[in-house]
A and B are shown apart, each in its own frame.
Chain A
Amino acid sequence: MKVSRRTLLKIAGISLMGGGVRPALEALGAGESSKIVASPNRLVGKRWAMAIDTKKCPPGCHDCIDACHREHNVPDFGNPKDEVKWIWNEPFKDVFPAQEYRYIDEGRKEKPVLVLCNHCDNPPCVRVCPTQATFKRKEDGIVMMDYHRCIGCRFCMAGCPYGARSMNFRDPRPFIKKINPQFPTRTKGVVEKCNFCEERLARGLIPACVEACKEKALVFGDLENPAADIRKLLKAQLTLRRRPELGTQPQIYYIV
């Protein structure tokens, strides 16, 4: 069979289209195959929140902290200046300064209370960020970070009234004990904080801290779901929130 020059060029062109252009497009993220498909097992909520029963927290326990920091490749610099932390303990008197008074029981005053990002319904950090690198996810209210967009201006750290945010003042990677390949490490010069384990929710898992707590002191759930455990808990118990008077509408509820 004699192939004309014209046909040959046509075939060459078509094979280029199929064999060359398509993979190139896919590599650029335009191809169908690279679309992110949500897992059918994922946990879906309209307003995620957490209740912390401080009475159930055993003294000296930090299982939840370790689980979170392991899961999210949080570095340990070993000094408070460069410190990066997502969830940690602070004395009751510093978490709830308005609740401190002269005759408060000493034990209660110094009792360690877990603190983390409050995933505010009206988050000042999101309002002040000049690049939308930190944003509130519309569907479930989680306040998230895009580590690739953050310019490291630290306006969010000034804006957060809870001290929930950490800056990578140095390269964190050499200070991560064991890297979890399931979650990205960060670069120097960006801010980070608790993400309510959005990466685990997407795989159908509850947050790492909640899972790690043997005492069931942490309850995570959807406030918009009247049947959720957290709703029942908020109905049955009086809870405190950190600095609710600021109008940030924090979504971490404390049973004290």
Chain B
Amino acid sequence: MLEKALIGDRKYWTWVGFLVLLIGVGGFYYLQQLDYGLGITGMSRNVSWALYIAQFTFLVGVAASAVMVVLPYYLHHYKAFGKITILGEFLAVASVFMCVTFIIVDLGQPARAFNVLLYPTPSSILFWDMVVLSGYLLLNILIGWTVLASEKKSISPPRWVKPLIYLSIPWAISIHTVTAFIYAGLPGRSFWLTAIMAPRFLGSAFASGPALLILLCFILRKFTRFDAGKEAIQALAKIVTYALIASIFFVLMEIFTVFYSQVPEHMQYFQYLFVGLHGHYALVPWMWAAVILAAIALVLLMNPRARQNETLLAMACAAVFFSLWIEKGLGLVVTGFIPSPLEKITEYYPTGPEVAITVGVWAMGLLILTGLYKVALAVKAETEEGSSRSSAT
């Protein structure tokens, strides 16, 4: 089936070429990073995790959100999702691949990465994250590919896939829960030390992931003959709406606890994010942009007529995606370090090479996604043609 990714028109190859170019640029700067060290990035002694780890955290959410199409389709036999389930699964594959790559580019000694396997350490959440992420990657590749191969042959999928599909549902929840535990279990990092971290992660994941899936369906409809169907898109839009509400609700709960209790150590991070701390404001415009985008998206999505208007829906989905990307992919990680345990405010600004490497990894993920979607849509087009021909005779 993989050969279908190698057949495409000019537009397809231009897109692939563009992604390969971005990967090349990222790769060039990654070689420089390998040579010079992580000092090539904007990270510092005080802000020791930043853009790379934040992308990883955000993308774990996108990966986990595949469960939002898998669960209704396989557990509740919601037929409208039949066409897009494979898109959700392959989006998860590409996202987990990006997650792992972001972890690797963030390592100071990437050649030693396998020490995590050589000296397995169950007390470390990073060890468990490796376990759940690699498991989730395998599950989604296996399920997606097997179901698609059966579809190609117009037979029902083998029986052994069903238990794996059921397993993939709690597994999706686990990847984002474990990723939240990386942060939520650290004493002295009060911004992250909150039990609502995992629910918040899941809430924002189930909004941003399906929002991206809706946008992808619109793009596919524009450039290919694939149509996800109005019902599937509208059902996804409802999922985005509820998840966005939950996500905003969780953030407000956090803000209540922090500011009503008036504990300075808990307040200072939110002050840094939204009003600035002791004259340091680097993230303030970003966070307010996220708030405004979320507010616009909420108004549009809660209004059924706006939600059914596909132009407005696309705008709302883009707003959700960027708002939550700012919240998680920019604000969440860096702010945990500001101020430092010794009360120092060190602001973080990514460097050019760091941004190029980040864009390169995103391009790598998009390339994988493009290839997988190409295969999936080619198979779907073939079987549809076949069935329409057989019904004509």
Which residues of A in the span 8-23 have a Cβ within 8 Å of any Cβ on B?
Answer: none
Known: A124-B187, A130-B126. A80 touches B45 (CB 8 A): yes
Known: A151-B116, A161-B189. A189 touches B37 (CB 8 A): yes
- What's the Cα separation between A96 and B54 when bound, in Å? 30
Known: A81-B45, A170-B36. A163 touches B342 (CB 8 A): yes
* B123 sits at the interface (CB 8 A): yes
Known: A131-B119, A158-B48. A189 touches B344 (CB 8 A): no
Known: A159-B186, A189-B107. A128 touches B124 (CB 8 A): yes
Known: A115-B342, A130-B124. A152 touches B46 (CB 8 A): no
* B44 sits at the interface (CB 8 A): yes
- What's the Cα separation between A154 and B342 when bound, in Å? 18
In the complex the two chains form, is B116's CB within 8 Å of A189's CB? no
Distance between B184 CB and nearest chain A CB, rounded to angstroms: 12
- What's the Cα separation between A189 and B49 when bound, in Å? 13
* B234 sits at the interface (CB 8 A): no
Enumerate chain A residues within 8 angstroms of B337, measured Cβ to Cβ: 158
Residue of B nearest to A147 (CB): B109
Residue of A nearest to B346 (CB): A80
In the complex the two chains form, is B49's CB within 8 Å of A158's CB? yes
- What's the Cα separation between A130 and B120 when bound, in Å? 7
Known: A95-B342, A154-B49. A170 touches B37 (CB 8 A): yes
In the complex the two chains form, is B188's CB within 8 Å of A246's CB? yes
Known: A132-B121, A243-B188, A248-B187. A166 touches B343 (CB 8 A): no
Distance between A108 CB and nearest chain B CB, rounded to angstroms: 16
Enumerate chain B residues within 8 angstroms of A142, measured Cβ to Cβ: none
Q: Which of A94, A126, A188 contacts B343 (CB 8 A)?
A: A94
Enumerate chain A residues within 8 angstroms of B113, measured Cβ to Cβ: 151
Residue of A nearest to B108 (CB): A152
Residue of A nearest to B189 (CB): A158
* B331 sits at the interface (CB 8 A): no
* A179 sits at the interface (CB 8 A): no
In the complex the two chains form, is A151's CB within 8 Å of B108's CB? yes
Q: Which of B37, B108, B346 contacts A154 (CB 8 A)?
A: B108
Distance between B185 CB and nearest chain A CB, rounded to angstroms: 8
Known: A94-B344, A115-B342, A151-B109. A169 touches B116 (CB 8 A): no
Enumerate chain B residues within 8 angstroms of A133, measured Cβ to Cβ: 115
In the complex the two chains form, is A189's CB within 8 Å of B187's CB? no
Enumerate chain B residues within 8 angstroms of A170, measured Cβ to Cβ: 36-37, 39
In the complex the two chains form, is B37's CB within 8 Å of A169's CB? yes
In the complex the two chains form, is B48's CB within 8 Å of A167's CB? yes
- What's the Cα separation between A148 and B393 when bound, in Å? 70
* B336 sits at the interface (CB 8 A): yes
Distance between B181 CB and nearest chain A CB, rounded to angstroms: 10
Q: Which of A82, A97, A132, A150 contacts B39 (CB 8 A)?
A: A82
* A157 sits at the interface (CB 8 A): yes
Enumerate chain A residues within 8 angstroms of B45, measured Cβ to Cβ: 80-84, 166-167, 169
Which residues of A in the span 160-213 have a Cβ within 8 Å of any Cβ on B?
Answer: 160-163, 166-171, 187-191
Which residues of B in the span 92-121 have a Cβ within 8 Å of any Cβ on A?
Answer: 103, 106-110, 112-113, 115-116, 118-119, 121
In the complex the two chains form, is A131's CB within 8 Å of B115's CB? yes
Enumerate chain A residues within 8 angstroms of B341, measured Cβ to Cβ: 160-163
Enumerate chain B residues within 8 angstroms of A247, measured Cβ to Cβ: 187
Enumerate chain A residues within 8 angstroms of B342, measured Cβ to Cβ: 90, 94-95, 115, 162-163
In the complex the two chains form, is B108's CB within 8 Å of A161's CB? no
Enumerate chain A residues within 8 angstroms of B115, measured Cβ to Cβ: 130-131, 133, 149, 151
Enumerate chain B residues within 8 angstroms of A153, measured Cβ to Cβ: 103, 106-108, 126
In the complex the two chains form, is B44's CB within 8 Å of A81's CB? yes
- What's the Cα separation between A114 and B290 when bound, in Å? 41
Can you list, as one digit per residue, whether each of A75-106 has a CB less than 8 Å from chain B (1) or not (0)? 00000111110000010011101000000000
Enumerate chain B residues within 8 angstroms of A150, measured Cβ to Cβ: 108-109, 112
Enumerate chain B residues within 8 angstroms of A149, measured Cβ to Cβ: 112, 115, 119
- What's the Cα separation between A208 and B353 when bound, in Å? 40
Can you list, as one digit per residue, whether each of B341-354 has a CB less than 8 Å from chain A (1) or not (0)? 11110100000000
Known: A82-B44, A189-B109. A161 touches B188 (CB 8 A): yes
Which residues of B in the span 159-204 have a Cβ within 8 Å of any Cβ on A?
Answer: 182-183, 185-189
- What's the Cα separation between A130 and B186 when bound, in Å? 14
* B324 sits at the interface (CB 8 A): no
In the complex the two chains form, is A127's CB within 8 Å of B107's CB? no
Known: A129-B124, A151-B116, A154-B106. 19 other contacts (CB 8 A): A80-B45, A81-B45, A82-B39, A94-B343, A130-B116, A130-B130, A131-B116, A149-B119, A152-B109, A153-B108, A155-B124, A157-B48, A160-B188, A161-B188, A162-B341, A167-B48, A188-B37, A191-B108, A246-B188
* 16 sample A-B contacts, Cβ–Cβ < 8 Å, listed by A number: A115-B342, A127-B123, A128-B123, A128-B124, A130-B115, A130-B124, A130-B130, A131-B115, A150-B108, A154-B49, A154-B108, A160-B188, A167-B108, A168-B37, A169-B44, A170-B37
User: Interface of B with A (CB < 8 Å)?
Assistant: 36-39, 43-46, 48-49, 103, 106-110, 112-113, 115-116, 118-119, 121, 123-127, 130, 182-183, 185-189, 265, 336-337, 340-344, 346
For the complex of A and B, the 8 pairs showing the least CB-CB separation, nearest first, are A152-B108, A161-B188, A189-B108, A169-B39, A188-B37, A163-B341, A130-B126, A94-B343
